[in-house]
Structure 1
Amino acid sequence: MSKYSWPLQELPCLSLQGSVSQPKKSNKRKSRSCLVLGDGLDVESTPTELIQHDLTLHNPHTTQLVCKGKENDSNHFVLARRPRRRKEATLDFSWDHLPDELLLRILFYLPLQDLLRMSTVCRRWHRLVFDESLWHSVDLEGLTNMGPAMQQVLKTGVRRLRCPRSFIEDQYFTGTSSLQIVQLDLSSSILPTSALESIICHCRLLECLSLEGLQLSDSIIHSLSMNPNIQQLNLSGCSSFSAQSVGDMLESLHQLKQLNISWCDFSDSHVRNVVGGLSSSVTHLNLSGYRQNLTLPDVKLLALQCPNLQTLDLSDSALLTADSFPALAQLKNLHHLSLSRCYLINLAALTDFSAAFPALRQLDVFGLVNESHLTTLKTGMAHISINSRPFSNIARPTPTTCDSPVSPYHEFKMWNRRCRLRVMF
C-alpha cells in the first residue's frame, strides 16, 4: 500500500438497505423552492429518512418535519415551497361600463341644474341627459331671456311645460316635427306673437292650455283648432283675434270641458260667435267681463248650447236682469253660479233661487248685496253657500281661493300636478 493511500471507510448516513448513493450532479437551474440541507442534501427528490436524519444531526431537538403539499400523503418525499404572494383583487369600476338604462335611472333623480352640468362631461352623457324620458315635465317659471332654453326644452319632447310670468325674446321654434306637448302654461308671460305662433302651430296633442293675458292672432286661434283633444282652455284677457276665428275654433273642440274666455277684447259679434260655437261637452264656463256685450238672447242661446253646465260665471255683465233666470233655470246640473256686479239684478229676485235652482250649491253676488241683507239671504237659502268664491278657477292651471292661501307646494302645480324638473333660484 502506498504511503499516500488510505483505507476505505464507510460514509455516514448513506447506507439505505445496501444502496449506494451516486454523486449528485450540479443543476444550474436549481429550483428556488428547494430546501438545501447539510452535506448537499435538498428537500426536493430526497428520501424522507435522509432528510430527517440530517435534520437530527443539525438540531437534536427536532423529531418531526412538517410536510406540506399533496405529494406528501404517502410520506415518501417532502416538498417545501415558499408561499407565493397573492395579488390583491382590485375592483376596476367605470361609469362607462354601465348601460344606458341604468345611467338614465340615475340621472332621473337629479335636479335641473345638476342635470345640465352632467351634459358637459362627454358626448355620451350629453346624449343621455337630453333623453326624452328625463324631460317629461319641466317648470321654467319666471325665467328671463329663456329663448335658447325654450328651444332646447321643446326639442327634448317635453309633454308638460310650465313657464308662467317668463320673458321669451324673439326666438322661433326651428323644428319641423310636431311637438309632444300635452299641457302648456304661458300665463302672463312676455313673448312676441310670432314666437308664440311658431310654438302653437307645431302642437297637435294639447289637452290643457293657458295663454292668459297674451296677445294672440288668427293664426294662433286656427292652430288651436287643430288640437281636437283640448279639454281645458284658458284665454282670459287675450286679444287681437277675430270673431270668426274664435267661433270656428270652438266648433272644432268637441271634447272641451272647461273654457275661460273672460275679459277679452271682445265686441258683440265676438260674444255671439263664442256662445254659438260652444259644444255641449262644456261643463265649466267663465264668460265674465262683458259689460255691454252679453245680452239676454246670448244667455238663452247659451242654455241651449251647453245643457250640461255645472259652473257658470257671468259676472260684470251690466245688461243682465232677472229676466235671464228662466233661461238659466233650464240648466238642471248647475251647482255654481256667479252674478257678481250685475247691478240690474235686484235683491228681491234672488230670494226665489232655492225654488228655481234646486241643484245650486254656490252663488256669488259680490257687489249686489250689502252685509245687512247678506245675513237674511243666507238664512233664506241655507243649503246654498253665498259669496264663498271671489275668484274663478275655471281652466286655470294654478287655482287660488281666499279660504285656503296658496302653499309653496301648491303654487308650483299645474293642473294639480307638479313638474319634475324645475328651475331653482
Structure 2
Amino acid sequence: MDVNKLGAEIGRPARRSNFLFSSWCSRSWTMDEDVLPGKRSYDKENSNSNMKCSKWSLGGDVGTDPPLLADMGLSILQDEEEMTGPTPTPPATEVNTSNPPPAPKVLQQSNQNVVSHGSFLPDDLVNEEEFFVYKRRRLDAIAGDDKFNRMSDELILAVFRWLPKFMLARCAQVCRRWKRLAFDESLWRRLDLGGKTLNPGVVGRVILRGSCILRLAKAEVDGPIFSPQLQYLPSLPPIRSKLQYLDLSMAAIEPPALEELLSVCFDLKKLSLEHCTVNQTICTHIANNPNLDTLNMAMCYGLNHSCIVNILSNCKKLVSLNLAWTGLSTEDLRVICRRFPKSLERLNISGCRNTLSDTHVRLLAEQSPSLVELDVSDCTQLTAASVSTMISELRHAEYLAFSRCYTIQPDAYLELKSMPHLLYLDLYGILNESALSTLRQSLPHIQINKYLFSSVARPTVGIRRTSVWGLRVRD
C-alpha cells in the first residue's frame, strides 16, 4: 500500500498522520534491538519485499496490525483490499459564493487536566474511524493546594502572634483576608515604639488598631496624630481609643499633638508625661479619665495649681502621683496640698527647694493619711517639725525620703523608730559614714539609703526597659 495513495484516499489529515508516523518510525530505528525483538523479526520478514516504500511504510501487513497502529496512535482507516484500486479522483465542485460551505467540525475529548485537539474534516468525511486525536496534557496553573487559606481565623491569628509588628504590616499587603487578620486588635494590644521617630499619622493608626499598652518613651512624635484623610470621612464615628497604659516619658511631642492624643483617651489607668510640656487643655483631657490611678508628671513644664486641681477633682481613684521638680510656687502648693485625694498612697513632691514648708507637709499628711511612700527630697525649707508630723499622721508609711534636706537636724531621724511599718529611709547628702553607721545601729529594722532614685508613678524602674508598670510591651 502506497503512502501517497493513502493520503489521496482520506484527504488532508492523512498527511498529518503520515508525518507523525514517519517521525515515529525514525525514532523507532534508534531503539536498541534487544528492547524490541518482535519488531526486529518483522523487519527480517519484510526485507525481501518488492515494495518501493521503506521498511516501515504502510505496505504489506503493517496496516492490518492493530497493536502496531495503536502504538503509533492511529486506527485502521479502510480495508487493505479497497486500497489496491486506482486512486479516486475527487469530484469537481462548483464554488457557490452565495452559500458558503459550513464550517468543519472539530472532534475533541477533554477532561479536567487534558485538552484534546481533533483534526478538521469536512462533513462528508467525518467518521469515528477516519481521524486521529493527539492529546497534550495541560498542567494546573497553581501547583499544589493552598492549605493556609483552609485554616480558620483563629489558627491564623495564633500564627500571627509570633510575628513582630513590622512583619504584620507586611502580611497585611498580601490580600484582603490577611489585612483584616493582621490588623486584628488582639495582635496590637501592646506595642513598644520607644526611641522611634514617628511620622504624622503613625500613632493614630496604632490607636485605631485597638492598642491598650503603648510605650512612646524618648520617641519623637510628629503631628498631627491622626491622618488628615480622616476628616474627609463624614460617616466616621468619634474616635475613642482603648489605651489604658500610656508612657510618654521624655518624648519629643508638641502640645498640640499631645492635646490631640489625649483628647481620644477616656479609659487611661496609668499615664506618664515626664519632661513634657503641658497646658490647661491637656490637663482637662487628663481629667476626663476617671479610672486614672497613676500619674507621672515629674519635670513637666507649664504646670500650675489650676491644672493640678482640675485633675485631682475628677480623678478620685488616684493612688500614685509624681510632681517632682515641677517648679510649683508656694501658693500652688498650698492649694494642691488641700486637694489631695484620700486614696493617695504614693506621692513624690521633691524638688520644691524654697517653696515647700512644714505647713504644706502638715496639710498633705492630714489630707492623705493613707500615704505609704512620701518623697520630699531637696526641700531645703523643711525642719524637724515635718518629721514629727509624719510620725504622728502617717501611721502606714513604709518609705520616706529626706535626701538633701539640710535644715533637718540628724537627731530628728532617731524618732522614726516609733514608726512600726517604716522599712526604707533615704538620707543622701546629709550624713557622713560615721553618722550613718550610728543611725543604722539605732534603727536596725530600717534600711537606709537603699534606693538612689524614686520609683513613684514611673513606668520603668532599673533595667526593665521592655515593660511599663510591670506590663510587658515587647513580643
TM-score > 0.5 by shorter chain? yes
Q: Per-residue deviation at 1:157?
A: 1.1
Indicate the structure whose relative CO is greater, using CA pairs within 8 Å and at least 6 residues apart.
1
Q: Quick one: which of 374, 381, 387 aligns to 2:449?
A: 387
Q: Find the residue that maps to 1:390 and give its secondary structure.
A: coil
1:153 positional shift? 0.6
- Residue of structure 1 equivalent to 2:149: 96
Pairing 1:39-50 to 2, within 5 Å after superposition? none
Cα distance between partner residues in 2 of 1:133 and 1:351: 54
Map 1:20-419 → 2, pairs under 5 A: 92-173=145-226, 176-329=238-391, 330-355=393-418, 357-400=419-462, 406=463, 410-419=464-473
The two structures, once aligned, show a CA RMSD in angstroms of 1.8
Aligned counterparts of 1:187 and 1:147: Cα–Cα separation in 2: 19
CA distance in 1, matches of 2:200, 2:337: 36
Q: Which amino acid aligns with 2:279?
A: S
Deviations 1:275-320, CA, capped at 9 Å, x for gaps: 2221111111101000111111111111111110111000010100
Contact 1:312 1:336 in 2 (8 A): yes
Gaps of 5+ in 1: 1-31, 33-89, 401-405
Cα distance in structure 2, aligned partners of 1:235 and 1:249: 12
Q: Distance in 1 between matches of 2:156 and 2:474?
A: 18
Secondary structure of the structure 1 residue equivalent to 2:158 = helix
- 2:304 and 2:319 map into 1 onto residues whose CA distance is 23
How far 1:129 moved relative to its partner? 1.0
Q: Residue 266 of structure 1: CA displacement?
A: 1.6
SS in 1 for 2:155: helix
- Which whole-Å CA distance do the structure 2 matches of 1:157 and 1:270 have between them? 38
> How far apart are the structure 2 equivalents of 1:93 and 1:171?
42
The answer to whether the 8 A contact 2:275-2:298 is kept is yes
Alpha-carbon separation, structure 2, partners of 1:265 and 1:199: 25
SS at match of 1:128: helix
Paired with 2:157 and 2:336, the residues of 1 have a C-alpha distance of: 47
Deviation readout 1:29-48 (Å, 9 max, x if unpaired): xxx9xxxxxxxxxxxxxxxx
Please give the secondary structure, in 2, of the residue aligned with 1:247: helix
- Listed one character per residue, the Cα deviations across residues 374-420 of structure 1 (whole Å, up to 9, x for unaligned) are 111111111111111111001111012xxxxx2xxx22111112114
Q: Is the 8 A contact 2:213 2:473 kept in 1?
A: yes
What's the offset of the Cα at 1:189? 0.6
Which runs of no fewer than 5 residues in structure 2 stay unpaired?
1-69, 71-142, 231-237
1:98-145 CA-to-partner distances (Å, cap 9, x unmatched) read 332322222111111211111111222122211111111100111113
Question: % of aligned pairs identical?
Answer: 35
Deviation at 1:251, TM superposition (A): 2.0
Distance 1:95 1:359 in 2: 60
CA distance in structure 2 between the aligned counterparts of 1:303 and 1:368, rounded to whole angstroms: 24
Give the aligned residue type for 2:262.
I
Contact 2:303-2:328 at 8 Å conserved across structures: no
Q: Secondary structure at the match of 2:438?
A: helix
Amino acid at match of 1:261: L
SS in 2 for 1:351: helix
3-state SS of 2:201 partner: helix
Query: Any conservation in 2 of the 1:238–1:264 contact (CA below 8 Å)?
Result: yes
| Per-residue deviation, 1:172 | 2.9
Helix, strand or coil at the partner of 2:220: coil
How far apart, CA to CA, are the structure 1 residues paired with 2:388 and 2:413?
A: 13
TM-score by length of 1: 0.73
1:91 offset after TM fit, Å?
6.3
SS in 2 for 1:378: helix
SS at match of 1:375: helix
Q: Which amino acid aligns with 1:178?
A: R
My pick for the range that moved more, 93-102 or 111-120, is 93-102
Return the offset for 1:170.
2.3
Match of 1:74 in 2: none
For 1:144, give the aligned amino acid. Answer: T
Is residue 248–residue 277 contact of structure 1 (8 Å, CA) maintained in 2? no
Distance 1:143 1:383 in 2: 45
Query: Post-superposition shift, 1:269?
Result: 2.3
Which letter does structure 1 place at the counterpart of 2:277?
Answer: Q
Whole-Å separation in 2 of the counterparts to 1:146 and 1:314? 39
Aligned length: 325
> Contact 2:202–2:226 at 8 Å: present in 1 too?
no
Q: Contact (CA 8 Å) 1:334, 1:360: kept in 2 or not?
A: yes
- What is the distance in 1 between the residues matched to 2:467 and 2:200? 23
| Bigger mean CA deviation after superposition, 210-219 or 267-276 | 267-276
Name the amino acid aligned to 1:339. F
Cα pair 2:424 2:448 within 8 Å, conserved: yes
Instruction: Tell me which moved more, 235-244 or 156-165.
Output: 235-244
